[in-house]
């Protein structure tokens, strides 16, 4: 197994600056879809083969890479871009000279039927994605050690289901409503309503590449999905939890039971932002200790509780054997060290103290999952699409991740040829 040592060996920005054709070639050269292609070809059997399965798969990847929101806009691109047709396997000479097809470019209904067929092979597509993830674990240093979880809302193209309207393909009967609340530092908040789905994404927080995902209707709780994803990883993808050292998430995933599960069962540090749920309390005292703490995880020495005199203590590290956070005085005039068991409040007291530099630096890495969400919107057109139905939404998210990972894999392979020192395990 070759582990890439230099972090600079992979930077997704180097893929984003490539031309669309270059990225398509990079994807097609490295996508591991041979088994899927064979199964689709066997299913087709001796039926019409105007557009071979391999060509249709290539065209499907191209739609994602070229950033088209609709099949019709992609077909217009195909009609004027001979290089794209050639790369995807559409041969102009078949159309111009041999008369094998009535049209060189597949009609929209051909794409629709092919997408419907791919929906039946969702499990195979998930396996392709997982193979790419395992490649990253084998070839990128520290891949999977710091993981970030986030939910991305994707509005449905269709309007809300009308109970008096029969299912006709124009309504989205799988989607649902949810309200998203944004809390700002000045104490104000903003609520927005969404009708559609939410993609729950676990990604590597160093390289910004996806590790696993779940697509559910928007109303399903993020907390519930987080627990189910951890359970699924434990049963089917244990290597993810075995490699993970830090679990990063925003306040929407704040939960003491999950924090305890991650640390106690899997030895993973939960670095999850806090939800401010104390209504009136500003400080809570720690039993049998002259200490108090606030909801932000700061610990104070009580000088005079009647006068409200407190001295903020300095974090000194985590005691693994006793499962305690160690605190001391800022100045060396007092050498006392206080140990606070994290079991006092698993929401507030994390194995990496909330007010420590280590927590601050690690939590900043969570922004990688937001960049990944941005790529889905900007490059794969999930902010402006025509997708209806949960199965198709799941299919399109999976295809986007397969394309993304295939390009990353090709980029890594190309870079490896220039590396002089590799660690062999």
**CA angle (37, 39, 40) in 5-degree steps:** 65
Task: List Cα–Cα distances, 148 to 115, 196, 206, 273, in angstroms.
Answer: 30, 23, 9, 12
What is the spatial distance between Cα 215 and Cα 88, in angstroms, rounded to a whole number? 29
pLDDT at residue 242 is higher than 80: yes
Mean pLDDT of 156-167: 62
Residue 163's pLDDT is 54
Q: How many CB atoms lie within 10 A of CB 2?
A: 13
- Per DSSP, the residues of 86-130 read HHHT--HHIIIII---S-SSPPHHHHHHHHHHHHTTHHHHHHHHH
Give 233 or 12, the one with higher predicted confidence.
233
What is the spatial distance between Cα 23 and Cα 362, in angstroms, rounded to a whole number? 31
pLDDT at residue 297 is higher than 70: yes
Find the Cα–Cα–Cα–Cα dihedral 122, 128, 129, 133, rounded to 10°: 150
Mean pLDDT of 19-48: 91
- pLDDT tens digit string along 74-121? 999 999 999 999 999 998 776 654 455 557 889 999 999 999 999 999
Mean pLDDT of 190-194: 85
pLDDT at residue 8 is higher than 60: no
- pLDDT tens digit string along 127-138? 999 999 999 999
What is the spatial distance between Cα 191 and Cα 213, in angstroms, rounded to a whole number? 25
Which of 45-49, 130-134, 209-213, 303-307 shows the lowest per-residue confidence on average (mean pLDDT)? Answer: 45-49
pLDDT band at 214 (very low <50, low <70, confident <90, very high): very high
Residue 157's pLDDT is 80
Predicted TM-score (pTM) of the model is 0.88
pLDDT at residue 183 is higher than 60: yes
The stretches of 191-312 forming alpha helices (DSSP H) are 222-236, 238-243, 256-266
Using an 8 Å Cβ cutoff, are 92 and 118 in contact? no
pLDDT at residue 333 is higher than 90: no
Q: Closest Cα to residue 15, out of 27, 5, 4?
A: 27
Residue 387's pLDDT is 87
- pLDDT tens digit string along 253-274? 999 999 999 999 999 999 999 9
Residue 162's pLDDT is 55
**What's the number of CA atoms in the CB half-sphere (13 Å) around residue 311?**
13
What is the spatial distance between Cα 196 and Cα 390, in angstroms, rounded to a whole number? 9
| Domains parsed from the chain with CATH numbers | 2-121+413-424 (no CATH), 143-276+362-391 (3.30.420), 284-348 (no CATH)
What is the spatial distance between Cα 62 and Cα 58, in angstroms, rounded to a whole number? 6
């Amino acid at each position: 197994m070759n582990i890439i040592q230099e972090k600079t060996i992979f930077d997704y920005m180097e893929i984003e600056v490539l031309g669309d054709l270059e990225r398509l070639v990079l994807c097609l050269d490295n996508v591991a879809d041979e088994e899927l292609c064979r199964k689709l070809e066997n299913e087709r059997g001796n039926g019409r083969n105007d557009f071979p399965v391999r060509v249709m798969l290539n065209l499907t990847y191209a739609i994602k890479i070229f950033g088209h929101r609709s099949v019709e806009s992609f077909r217009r691109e195909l009609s004027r871009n001979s290089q794209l047709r050639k790369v995807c396997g559409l041969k102009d000479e078949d159309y111009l000279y041999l008369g094998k097809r009535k049209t060189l470019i597949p009609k929209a209904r051909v794409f629709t039927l092919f997408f419907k067929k791919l929906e039946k092979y969702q499990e195979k597509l998930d396996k392709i994605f997982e193979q790419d993830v395992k490649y990253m674990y084998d070839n990128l240093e520290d891949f999977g050690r710091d993981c970030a979880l986030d939910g991305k809302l994707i509005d449905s193209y269709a309007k809300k289901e009308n109970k008096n309207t029969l299912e006709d393909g124009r309504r989205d009967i799988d989607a649902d409503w949810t309200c998203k609340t944004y809390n700002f530092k000045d104490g104000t908040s903003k609520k927005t309503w969404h009708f559609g789905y939410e993609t729950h994404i676990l990604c590597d927080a160093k390289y910004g590449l996806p590790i696993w995902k779940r697509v559910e209707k928007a109303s399903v709780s993020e907390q519930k999905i987080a627990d189910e994803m951890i359970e699924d990883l434990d049963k089917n993808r244990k290597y993810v939890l075995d490699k993970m050292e830090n679990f990063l998430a925003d306040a929407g995933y704040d939960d003491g039971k999950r924090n305890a599960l991650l640390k106690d069962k899997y030895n993973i540090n939960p670095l999850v932002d806090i939800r401010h749920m104390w209504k009136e309390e500003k400080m809570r005292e720690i039993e049998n200790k002259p200490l108090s703490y606030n909801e932000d995880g700061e610990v104070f020495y009580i000088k005079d509780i009647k006068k409200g005199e407190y001295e903020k203590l300095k974090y000194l590290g985590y005691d693994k054997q006793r499962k305690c956070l160690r605190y001391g005085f800022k100045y060396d005039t007092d050498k006392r060290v206080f140990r606070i068991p994290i079991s006092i409040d698993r929401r507030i007291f994390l194995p990496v103290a909330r007010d420590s530099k280590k927590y601050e630096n690690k939590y900043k890495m969570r922004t990688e999952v937001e960049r990944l969400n941005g790529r889905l919107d900007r490059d794969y057109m999930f902010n402006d699409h025509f997708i209806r139905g949960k199965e198709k939404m799941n299919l399109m998210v999976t295809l986007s991740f397969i394309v993304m990972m295939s390009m990353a894999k090709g980029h890594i392979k190309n870079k490896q040829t220039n590396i002089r020192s590799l660690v062999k395990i």
